[in-house]
Amino acid sequence: MNCDEARQLLHAYVDDELDLATTLQIEKHLPGCPKCRKELEAAQVVRTAVAQPAVYYPAPSELRDRLTKAIRAETREISPSSRSITPWWRRPIAFSGLAASLLLVIGSMVLFAPTHAPSGQIDELVGSHVRSLGADHLMDVASTDQHTVKPWFTGKIDFSPPVVDLSGEGFPLIGGRLDYLEQKKVAALIYHRNKHIINLFIWPGETSPQKDVKQGFNLIRFECKGMVCWAVSDLNAVELQQFVELFKGQKPASTRN
Amino acid sequence: MSLHAATSKFESAVLEQLDAAHNLARWLMRNDEDAQDVVQESCMKALRSFDSFRGGDFRAWFLTIVRNTSFTWLRRNKNVHAGVADHSLEDGAEVAADCDIYDPQMIALRAGDADLVRRAIDALPDGLREAVVLREMEGLSYREIGKITGVPIGTVMSRLSRGRMQLQSLLVEMDQGQPEKSGTGGPPR
């Protein structure tokens, strides 16, 4: 090993990062080379200089306190105790995320008819569905009773949406909400299927059947009792279609208002 | 493991590495306030992605986040300090085989001046500085340094040797008790 080679490896030698064979070569070279010995000594002095405690920047105690508080505050937001007192349908984000990603896969396997609704409307529907899953925004009226939900809309909107109970079919009604789509007030009914939330947006009008998939959510449009209805959910397309058929086939609740 | 248990595990792991995190951020940012902000941001990032940490070396994992957050900040603020800060990683790349070897006694004499040593380290290019800090102050192996800084072990080795050689000359040539002179590759302070 010549001097130039040795100098390239000297620092790795100081750091004990060389393999045994190379280490031995360096150690063979050093006694006969004052230049490399000097370099080695200089490297060790620099190491000691940099490693001295007075040069180090330990974390200030106020940073330590601040971080401890920040970690605990952040954790409280997602703490298990606050989860367990929240009914599952009030906190669907966690599993809907998983379900949504599963549905991206399922959705890509299902061939949908070409879309007709303007993409802006699809975006609004999905946006509204997602917002509804946020904390305390799912329902304005929480009831499994169609005779409570339907009259609730009276006076809030100028139409009476069909409300049906499908709990016998595995799609229980859980409530209703007033929502806005394209600057219009619309009715939103909330159903659930296992752990999936279905938002059914309803407003007066005529329409043709349509399906779409957006951001992993399935959307199905249909007409029912002179109303435009959009079902939006992370539920798979087959079961969502089943929901739509059941909804269309059922007699709406008799109007009590 | 419950979320609560995971969090208290995270908290103690982070607090244990807080000095290392702050030291690294402080050397990369070269100012107290930015260093603390970077550590806080890194800590929150780490907390949110803690479930993606699959065991192993927490220190290396956390320091990688701190290191990357620091460089994101430096890049973001590049325009603010345009023409001042030198964030090039490869500055002074060549190891001059025939460069002066400084007298170790002379270096040792000046190495006792912690302020001078700090200014000399500050004057190193970012890539050399982070390698030196991780090696000399945290005692990390070349492999760990390579993992944190995203370079091969050979690069770690050459950065360390260049870093130490530049430190030798900086320690000897910088004026004691004076702000470092220009032309050493470091920013004015």
* Backbone torsions φ then ψ of A97, nearest 5 degrees: -65, -45
Query: Which of A78-92, A139-153, B154-168 shows the lowest mean pLDDT across its residues?
Result: A78-92
Q: In B, residues 86-105, which contact A (CB 8 Å cutoff)?
A: 95, 97, 101-104
- In 3D, which of A151, A36, A19 has the Cα closest to residue B101? A36
Q: Inter-chain contact B107–A59, Cβ cutoff 8 Å?
A: no
In the predicted structure, residue A109 carries a pLDDT above the cut 70: no
The per-residue pLDDT for range A210-249, each reduced to its tens digit, is: 888 888 899 999 998 889 999 999 999 999 999 999 998 8
Residue A121: its pLDDT value, please? 84
In the predicted structure, residue B179 carries a pLDDT above the cut 90: no
Residue A139: its pLDDT value, please? 78
Of A185 and B127, more confident: B127
Instruction: Name the CATH topology of B3-76.
Output: Rna Polymerase Sigma Factor; Chain: A (1.10.1740)
The per-residue pLDDT for range A13-42, each reduced to its tens digit, is: 999 999 999 999 999 999 999 999 999 999
Q: Taken in order B103, B104, B105, B111, is the CA torsion positive or negative?
A: positive
Pairing status of strand A227-233 against strand A217-224 = antiparallel
State which amino acid sits at residue A30. Answer: L
Q: Which CATH entry fits the domain spanning B87-189: 1.10.150.20, 1.10.1050.10, 1.10.10.10, 3.40.50.720?
A: 1.10.10.10
In the predicted structure, residue A52 carries a pLDDT above the cut 70: yes
Residue B2: its pLDDT value, please? 64
pTM for the model: 0.56
Residue A191: its pLDDT value, please? 93
Q: Which chain A positions have a beta carbon within 8 Å of B3's beta carbon?
A: 75, 78-80
Residue B22: its pLDDT value, please? 97
When computed from its CA atoms, the radius of gyration of chain B, rounded to whole angstroms, is 18
Do residues A142 and A167 touch, judged by C-beta distance below 8 A?
A: no
Rounded CA gap, A137 and A177, in Å? 9
Do residues A94 and A182 touch, judged by C-beta distance below 8 A?
A: no
Contacts of A23 (CB under 8 A, 6+ apart): A13
When computed from its CA atoms, the radius of gyration of chain A, rounded to whole angstroms, is 33
**Chain A nearest C-alpha distance from B68 (Å):** 18
Distances (CA, A) of B69 to B35, B37, B62: 10, 10, 11
* pLDDT band of B85, cuts 50, 70, 90: very low
Rounded CA gap, B11 and B18, in Å? 10
Q: HSE-up of A237 (CA within 13 Å, CB side)?
A: 21
Residue B62: its pLDDT value, please? 95
Can you tell me which residue has the tokens 């192993």? B56
Of B80 and A43, more confident: A43
Q: What percent of chain A has pLDDT over 90?
A: 40
Q: Taken in order A27, A29, A32, A35, is the CA torsion positive or negative?
A: negative
Of A196 and A74, more confident: A196
Q: Please check whether residue A56 touches B, CB under 8 A.
A: yes
Rounded CA gap, A21 and B90, in Å? 30
DSSP type of residue A126: H
Question: What value of ipTM does the predicted structure carry?
Answer: 0.85
Q: Please check whether residue A48 touches B, CB under 8 A.
A: yes
Q: Which chain B positions have a beta carbon within 8 Å of A71's beta carbon?
A: 7, 10-11, 14, 43, 47
Query: Which of A161-170, A246-255, B91-100, B105-114 shows the lowest mean pLDDT across its residues?
Result: B91-100
Do residues B173 and B123 touch, judged by C-beta distance below 8 A?
A: no
Strand segments (E) across chain B: none
Average pLDDT over chain B reads 82
Of A82 and B16, more confident: B16
Of B22 and A106, more confident: B22
Of A139 and B158, more confident: B158
The per-residue pLDDT for range B119-140, each reduced to its tens digit, is: 999 999 999 999 999 999 999 9
Overall average pLDDT of the B17-38 stretch: 95
Do residues A3 and A33 touch, judged by C-beta distance below 8 A?
A: yes
Q: What percent of chain A has pLDDT over 70?
A: 80
Q: Inter-chain contact A54–B114, Cβ cutoff 8 Å?
A: yes
Of A44 and B90, more confident: A44
In the predicted structure, residue B88 carries a pLDDT above the cut 60: no
Of A181 and B127, more confident: B127
Q: Inter-chain contact A42–B168, Cβ cutoff 8 Å?
A: yes
Task: Report DSSP letters for B123-157, one per residue.
Answer: TS-HHHHHHHIIIIIT---HHHHHHHHT--HHHHH
Strand segments (E) across chain A: 141-142, 173-181, 184-193, 196-204, 210-214, 217-224, 227-233
In the predicted structure, residue A175 carries a pLDDT above the cut 60: yes
- Name the token pair of B93: 């790349």
Please report, for chain B, the start and end positions of each structural domain, with discontinuous segments joined by +.
Answer: 3-76, 87-189
Pairing status of strand A227-233 against strand A196-204 = antiparallel
Rounded CA gap, B67 and B138, in Å? 14
**Torsion angle (degrees, nearest 10) of CA A111, A114, A119, A121:** -90
Q: Please check whether residue B69 touches A, CB under 8 A.
A: no
Overall average pLDDT of the A180-195 stretch: 87
Q: Please check whether residue B3 touches A, CB under 8 A.
A: yes
In the predicted structure, residue B81 carries a pLDDT above the cut 60: no
